[in-house]
Amino acid sequence: MSQRNLAWLIVVPAAVLLTGVMTYTAPPPEQDYKMVRTVVDVLAEVDKSYYRELTEAEKKKLVEDMINGGLHSLDPYSEYFNEERLKQFAQDNKGTFGGIGAYLGTDPKTGWLTIDSPMPDSPALEAGLQPGDIIVKIDGQPSDTLDVDAARSKIKGEPGTNVTLTLRRVGVKEPFDVALTRRVIQRHPVTGIRRRDDDPAKWDYFADPTDKIAVIRLSEFNEMSGKEMEAAVKEVVAAGAKGLVLDLRNNPGGLLRVAEQISDLFLAGGKIVLTRDRHDTGRDVKAKNDGAAWEDPGKLPMAVLLNGNSASAAEIVAAALQDNGRAVVVGERSYGKGSVQRSIESPDGKTALKLTTEIWLTPNGKRIHRSPTAKAEDEWGVKPDAGFEVKMTEDQLIQQLLHLREAEIGRKRPADSPKEEPSAEPGKAPKRGELPKLDPNFKDPVLEKALEYLRSKATARRLIGPREPA
């Protein structure tokens, strides 16, 4: 069989799926045919004796569910991709999709779908969609029959095709239709602290303009991540950055080669990651010295932020920078996903099998994979450096997510857009259907710990001064 090239898989459940290179195996031996025969017999009996006749689509789904049930018994990451799932995977990997470019939400009081915010340079913005617009219908279908994911899928579509939203807006008596033409929308994985006032499509990265400490957030490792990360680093260094925070919290992972690329961006040498298969063979990936200023910890000290949802490719980058002494890790222990998946495409390229084929190790040779029976005292995940563990309360987590949401959507509302309804005061439990109130005085304790560390580095450099020969 021919070899099919995909991407390496480094994922957790609900994360972006990634694939690698693998060839089809030879036909199974006789004993394997006997096991397959059991499956065929079961399907035949269902087709013959089930209380009702199954449609072809139901039969197909039954087979797919049987395959995935067996694969998931091996591990949570092995999976069969049908044609639709494989297309979705490829789209997610690219970081682009066909759509209107709007964040969707729900009205906390009524449960109706709403426009949270149109994205910069999008059909939604150009069509005049406003934050708080209630989506009554999507192409004539009432939206109260759809959850956010179903609505999002219905609004997405091939670039160049049309979708009509029926909206209700505060100050407008009757619902009205807005026809939009879908375009290619890019889901940018790299963000900063806040959108710039002069250009909402760009980011302000400096959390501390005085000490010139920048924060770059990376939400996933897709095809765009490496290029956008390098561009952001070059931008902050050109602006005089004296310290850098790499925020990988809630990053579920992504492409292995992108994790290697981003690790190499900050390393002048040393190992990045080790991979091992069932025969204990694999790759030892090493960083190369590009001579860039941001590879030097003396010129650009770094801190990496992790939490329990930082997984896989995010853990690879954190461990590579930590083990090589390039950055301190701040926050909480990571998820603990240390396996690698590759996929085998069917001959027609329409379906694929994603299978766990390797484990990966940190540069120091440590396995970080968390087994299903692992306990808190066991060794798994990437841990913060000594003195840099910071646990957040539930209220702090909520405030952090609220502030991230505000930064991402860039709340610059039109003068006639609806004002937000009052919500619970900070520190008080919200009533049912009520959103917590954004606390303007909130400080992210994990980020503050990282800033404190990098400020101390900046202070030390000022006191000692540059070591230049006379």
The per-residue pLDDT for range 299-353, each reduced to its tens digit, is 999 999 999 999 999 999 999 999 999 999 999 999 999 999 988 899 998 999 9
Within 10 angstroms of residue 149's Cβ, the number of other Cβ atoms is 9
- Output the pLDDT for position 404: 87
- Output the pLDDT for position 458: 77
pTM higher than 0.85: no
Ranking 22-26, 192-196, 313-317 by mean pLDDT, the lowest is 22-26
Range with top average pLDDT, 22-31, 71-80, 101-110, 209-218? 209-218
* pLDDT beyond 50 at 470: no
Rounded CA separation 26/384 (Å) = 45
- 36 neighbors 28 (Cβ within 8 angstroms): yes
Choose among 430, 253, 445: nearest CA to 340: 253
Q: At what angle do helices 56-74 and 30-49 cross, to 10 degrees?
A: 140
- Looking at residue 9, its amino acid is L
Which two structure tokens, joined as six digits, stand for 429? 């439990």
- 16 neighbors 27 (Cβ within 8 angstroms): no
Q: Which amino acids are annotated catalytic?
A: 312, 323, 337
Look at residue 278 and give its three-state secondary structure. coil
- Output the pLDDT for position 4: 37
**Residue 151's Cα: distance from chain center in Å?**
20
- 450 neighbors 330 (Cβ within 8 angstroms): yes
Domain ranges of the chain: 190-391+444-464
- Output the pLDDT for position 90: 80
* pLDDT beyond 90 at 197: no
Choose among 106, 55, 42: nearest CA to 434: 106
- Output the pLDDT for position 28: 60
Interval 128-151: pLDDT, tens: 998 889 999 999 999 888 878 788
**Superfamily name and number for 190-391+444-464:** 2-enoyl-CoA Hydratase; Chain A, domain 1 (3.90.226.10)
- 380 neighbors 368 (Cβ within 8 angstroms): yes
Rounded CA separation 190/183 (Å) = 21
